Structure 1
């Protein structure tokens, strides 16, 4: 009898003590959000743990699950977000504002960190593709992949597809043991990949064919509604000379104006006033374009010299802003297009301000009579057009951001490419879960502090609570029987 009593007491204490252990797990872990990373990027916790993200960066960031299980929304500096994980599995997340650079993973283990039980989330992976330049405009794509697990004997193969150029096999991923990889493809024919493709897939291939034949692991595409305007920025548009893309034309014409400002400065240093005035004419005509009110023979040599394409920095800028806004309007719910489209507009406006100021400072100099009168203004013009091209680091943080007073033509071009970023996702695969007894399938209401995570209470807690009650009830019965037996013995 004493042995039975001890066993029941142990069961009761173990069951009733479960909530204390769960509370210890609820203390969870902390992740620090900085510009532009999660620290740590990956962490492992137990079921029931609460993870708290603290926003320590200056830029806005989000904590968004790939399956939308949790989403913090935009967090400003100093804000926090917490989520409680109630089921085992691997949960990938990212910052929706900076999806190419800011990704993280939370691994939630079952009891004692053992194998995951049925019902665990088996992730199909995720990825982000960003276009860039390598000896040509947008002829390169860089891909970051996480959590891809192709079947045994198959290779994870990357394809660009859709549009006039697809599909095209880019190569296979060298996956590590966690299914992560980085991959860069450079088009050997120097083709503009944004002009040719708008979709990317990763498939499990056993052959080397020119068409995808295996199971699709990941897929993603440029926002369909915004694609036409993104291509006007980066691939081409009929209204410009040689159908030059707007962001590209702005970058190249601003660079040309900055070059001639430097040539004017060098001519002043050599006391060559005629050459200085000629290059200043080039600066004004490149900035204004042939339809500008100040375009013309400014140095009175009976020629309207213009080494630019005639469209003008200011005209490229005006249309670049217009088409970035059109892309944003066409895809109002696309965070990538909305964010980087705004960055394009801000950076172009900065460049326009500096280019106009350089033009305005150049116009009076055609009346200057000597090199001394030109020297200081020409230095300022060269500095302004350098800023219009590359921007300036106002807050001295070591980078040029797409914010007022910093980003410029180069920044605008880079963020136009980021508007074309492709986020690759796969549907989650969930193993069959065991049937739950209806009486134990109650779900407590959500916590007003933690959010949806607490609302998803596991059946394990309910089972243990039931065991605790049963054990306590049996203990009372046995104690009563024991006392009754003792009285009879007396």
Structure 2
């Protein structure tokens, strides 16, 4: 019995000892636990303590200092695709009464539907400018109304409407046309109206009206010199100076000594009108959300206004020479120079002889500034939310190649990578002009346009729609072969007009 008790006691002690041994073999978790990625295969050499597994981001390694933490790279969203612009021009019946819609790279509407162009005012009233067609992804749609569209409307849109249905409802909106509201406010002051000016005239409209008065009195002055009447000529010279300078100007006053400061103008002055145009153009540039369209044409307004101001300063000097002259013969050269300077201030000068007056130093004048002031207010069109209007060819083909395929059947597109020998006639696009401006070629001649302007895109677009290179960037070129005889007026869709104004030129094709 005693041996059995000893045996059982021995077993109990043995089990207790074994349990203690097992418990002591377990690792202390708080003392030896390591991150899972630090565990290694016992058969492999140990790694450095700071090694970070390549499959984990750097931020997951607690051994890295905060400055070494990897920051996720966030890719910027691509800029939305701009499909074109809606521009405004003066019509025969109203300032800014004409419009021109220029789009490229858009898909045709679904079968049984068509696009329509609408304008919207600040009270959400709409004006339907009518339906238009898409040809090979391009749109050139124009028209006119007896209304100042730029003054009345602040945005535009293009809707998709069912054919042969006139239910008074507006269909699905495909594209929206906008211009920054802050910019538009001051653009209107430049080319539409400004309440603080005489008769509420916009700055560049007032400048045009007053310089016409100055030119009229220069004509009177020349007539008096022809009649050998120096005193009457000097009286009109005073009129010219007072019209140009305005009542607050440094030269305004009784300049011919007849005790009366005569001013047939509105008293504001051409020079103050131009300075006001520059001021409000700069305000348009400083507005929130300013667009490339505003920036580009604002620069043209400023350059052309400065050209005009410089010529007006010289014009005042010539008028003062007339007043200081002792005879009609002595005054005659100054009078002729005065007339030339006023014409240059208004209409600009083709200083480089390329056949065009461009918005560049020494060329553009008040009219140039006015046209580009209206261009500042061009509505830029982007796809409406959820609308898919981008034409596939415009997305898949390089721009220069896509442009070449847009030519009409009478014009054979030549790949832009063709050797120079295949294009014997080259026209440069430089300083917002085509050089040379007028050419005559035989049928079958290849003509290459090369964009040499730093920044702006240009096109060579036929006024009759017979050919179109599309827009292309600096350093790019497009070649077209002309087979059909005729005279073609063409223009840049961004900087010219199919009426031949602005950046425009002519090609004559002979048999």
> TM-score by structure 2 length?
0.56
* Bigger helix share: 1
The 3 A distance-change label for structure 1 pair 250 and 332 is farther
SS in 2 for 1:425: strand
2:181 corresponds to which of 219, 224, 242: 224
* 2:293 equivalent to 1:336: yes
Deviation at 1:307, TM superposition (A): 2.4
* 8 Å contact kept, 1:281–1:297: yes
* 2:168 equivalent to 1:181: no
How is 1:144-163 mapped onto 2 (pairs within 5 angstroms)? 144-146=102-104, 147-163=106-122
Displaced runs of 4 or more, over 4 A? none
* 8 Å contact kept, 1:165–1:197: no
* More divergent stretch after superposition (155-164 vs 421-430): 421-430
Deviation at 1:164, TM superposition (A): 5.0
2:194 corresponds to which of 237, 241, 255: 237
* 8 Å contact kept, 2:217–2:239: yes
With CA pairs under 8 Å and 6+ residues apart, which has the higher RCO, 1 or 2? Answer: 1
Matched with 1:385 is 342
* More divergent stretch after superposition (156-165 vs 233-242): 156-165
How is 1:29-178 mapped onto 2 (pairs within 5 angstroms)? 68=79, 126-135=83-92, 136-146=94-104, 147-164=106-123, 166-176=125-135, 178=136
* 8 Å contact kept, 1:234–1:247: yes
* 2:367 equivalent to 1:420: no
SS in 1 for 2:142: strand
* 2:199 equivalent to 1:258: no
Matched with 2:153 is 197
The 3 A distance-change label for structure 1 pair 349 and 209 is farther
The 3 A distance-change label for structure 1 pair 430 and 312 is closer
Structure 1 residues 446-479: Cα deviation after superposition (integer angstroms, max 9, x where no partner): xxxxxxxxxxxxxxxxxxxxxxxxxxxxxxxxxx
Deviation at 1:332, TM superposition (A): 6.2
The 3 A distance-change label for structure 1 pair 363 and 169 is same
Matched with 1:352 is 309
Deviation at 1:68, TM superposition (A): 4.6
State how far apart, in whole Å, the 1-side matches of 2:160 and 2:326 are: 72
Structure 1 residues 107-163: Cα deviation after superposition (integer angstroms, max 9, x where no partner): xxxxxxxxxxxxxxxxxxx33211101123211111123334223222311111132
The 3 A distance-change label for structure 1 pair 261 and 148 is farther
Matched with 1:288 is 245
The 3 A distance-change label for structure 1 pair 132 and 280 is same
The 3 A distance-change label for structure 1 pair 252 and 208 is farther
* 8 Å contact kept, 1:251–1:413: no
The 3 A distance-change label for structure 1 pair 217 and 332 is closer
* More divergent stretch after superposition (395-404 vs 259-268): 259-268
* 8 Å contact kept, 2:115–2:132: yes
Matched with 2:284 is 327
How is 1:299-338 mapped onto 2 (pairs within 5 angstroms)? 299-331=256-288, 333-338=290-295
Stretches of structure 1 that go unaligned for 5 or more consecutive residues are 1-66, 70-92, 95-125, 432-490
1:402 corresponds to which of 348, 352, 359: 359
State how far apart, in whole Å, the 1-side matches of 2:389 and 2:139 are: 24
SS in 2 for 1:225: helix
Deviation at 1:430, TM superposition (A): 9.4
* More divergent stretch after superposition (352-361 vs 299-308): 299-308
State how far apart, in whole Å, the 1-side matches of 2:254 and 2:140 are: 53
**What RMSD over aligned residues (CA atoms) do the two structures have, in Å?**
2.5
SS in 2 for 1:220: strand
Structure 1 residues 182-239: Cα deviation after superposition (integer angstroms, max 9, x where no partner): 2222122xx22111111111111233355x5201122111122211111111221121
State how far apart, in whole Å, the 1-side matches of 2:125 and 2:353 are: 44
Matched with 2:436 is none
SS in 2 for 1:429: coil
SS in 1 for 2:99: strand
Structure 1 residues 289-329: Cα deviation after superposition (integer angstroms, max 9, x where no partner): 11223223323444433222111011111111111011111
* 8 Å contact kept, 2:383–2:389: no
> TM-score by structure 1 length?
0.59
* 2:169 equivalent to 1:208: no
